[in-house]
Structures are given as C-alpha cells and as structure tokens.
Amino acid sequence: QSTLTQPASVSGSPGQSITISCTGTSSDVGGYNYVSWYQQHPGKAPKLMIYEVSNRPSGVSNRFSGSKSGNTASLTISGLQAEDEADYYCSSYTTSSTYVFGTGTKVTVL
Amino acid sequence: EVQLVESGGGLVQPGGSLRLSCAASGFTFISYWMHWVRQAPGKGLVWVSRINSDGTGTSYADSVKGRFTISRDNAENTLYLQMSSLRDEDTAVYYCTRDSYYYDAFDIWGQGTMVTVSS
C-alpha cells in the first residue's frame, strides 16, 4: 500500500485562494468517490474537512471545497485566513478494502 | 458529547507487545465501524486497521498484518489494538477514529496515545 502524493508545502497571503493536489491511481482516488480531506494543527488530532470528494461536514467553513479529476483530487481553500495554517491530508478508499493517506501538505499563511 | 479516548501507550522493547484501548462515549458504538490510524513523529498519517460494527470483519495495512489484531467490545463501548512483535518503525501516535455512519470518512478522532518502541 503506497501513499497518495501531495505537495510538501503550499503558501498564500490572507484572502487568497490555494489548491492542494492529491494524486493516486485507478485503484484508489480514481476508482472511487471516497476521497476525504483532514486538517491537522500541531499537536492536535486530525479534523475532517471534506468527505466523498466534495462534501463539507456540518460546521466546516464553505471556504473549503473539494473536487476530483481522474486520479487526482484537490482541496481548495478560498479567502485564506491565519487559522487555516496547518497540515492537510487526503485519504482514499482502495480496491484492497483498505485506506491510504496522502503524504501531507503544510499550508503557510504569509 | 461524542468522544473517543485512547489509552495503553508507552515504552516497549523491540519484539514486545502492547494493547491499546479506545473508550467511546456519546454515540451508539455498536452502529459504527472503527479504525486505527498512526502517525510517526514528524511524519504523516498512516491507516492501520479497520473493524466492522459487530467485530466479525477486519482489515489491516500490509505493514502490520500478522502482528496487530483489532477487536472491540460493544458491551463496554471499547475498541482495542493488540500489537505484538513490535518494531522500531511502529513508534507513533496511535489514533482511534470513527467511520461515519452516513458517508465514507473518519468523522471523529481521539486525542491519540504514544507508542515508543526502543531498547
């Protein structure tokens, strides 16, 4: 089981939009609409931000949105705020009936 | 309040064993599939294992298959991870997490428990 590929870091100024990519294969990201995204602040547990590619759980800001094309999923944060500075991980269900996470992306608000 | 609280972490020698527990509260535990996810110091999240709601179905990451066993006690609202033949690379914070009933994602996470494998 390999990991999904994410950029190591992405940065943006307050108010800007950024996009984080998550690239897998047809056995995971490309094969199912079961991609989710998690935010993790230092020393804290992960928090679900997006489920099933593009859906937001109750309580998550609508500044967060998700999409998918082929084997690549994306998380977009619009109107970037200081509190968005964190690590972000994608995850996908796989054909092996297991799950795989992405390598993680550190978001920095300049 | 919906809550997951892990316990049982600590220092163990290579080749040793440890059992982690995750106490669930605030929701109907028996209705949910549950998972363990780990995170080595300074590294990313790694899915470890899953168990279905009645405990009859499990799956594991290749890296722990044959060494770790996931189980649950629905009467006690508790999830377990029995770890044996521990290796240095098993050193990590171990999180228990709930599989959402309505969609495919991990919607509730515990605070994690640290496992250190070292001589």
The label of the residue with tokens 């940065």 reads A11
What are the tens digits of pLDDT across the range B61-92? 999 999 999 999 999 999 999 999 999 999 99
pLDDT of A1 reads 63
Q: Are strands B34-39 and B92-99 parallel, antiparallel or unpaired?
A: antiparallel
What are the tens digits of pLDDT across the range B92-114? 999 999 999 888 999 999 999 99
Structure tokens at B81: 């991870």
**Per-residue b or e along B1-32, where b marks 16 or more CB atoms closer than 10 Å to that residue's CB:** eeebebebbeebeeeeebebbbbbeebebeeb
What are the tens digits of pLDDT across the range A13-59? 999 999 999 999 999 999 999 999 999 999 999 999 999 999 999 99
Structure tokens at B101: 């009933």
Mutation for testing the B interface, residue in A47, A48, A92 having most B CBs under 10 Å: A48
Note the Cα A66 to chain centre separation in Å: 8
The Cα–Cα gap between B63 and B40 comes to 14
> What secondary structure letter does DSSP report for B100?
P
Cβ partners under 8 Å of residue B17, min gap 6: B82, B83, B84, B85, B86
CB of B13 within 8 Å of a chain A CB? The answer is: no
Handedness of CA B26, B28, B30, B36 (dihedral sign): negative
Length of chain B: 119
DSSP-derived 3-state class of residue A21: strand
Q: Tell me whether residues A91 and B45 touch, CB distance under 8 A.
A: yes
Do residues A46 and A89 lie in contact, with contact meaning Cβ atoms separated by under 8 Å? Answer: yes
How many Cα atoms within 13 Å fall on the side-chain side of residue B97? 28
Which residue in A has a C-alpha nearest to residue B114's C-alpha?
A: A43
What are the tens digits of pLDDT across the range B22-62? 999 999 999 999 999 999 999 999 999 999 999 999 999 99
The Cα–Cα gap between B63 and B89 comes to 10
pLDDT of B52 reads 97
Q: Give A44 to chain B, closest Cα distance, Å.
A: 7
Do residues A22 and A90 lie in contact, with contact meaning Cβ atoms separated by under 8 Å? Answer: yes
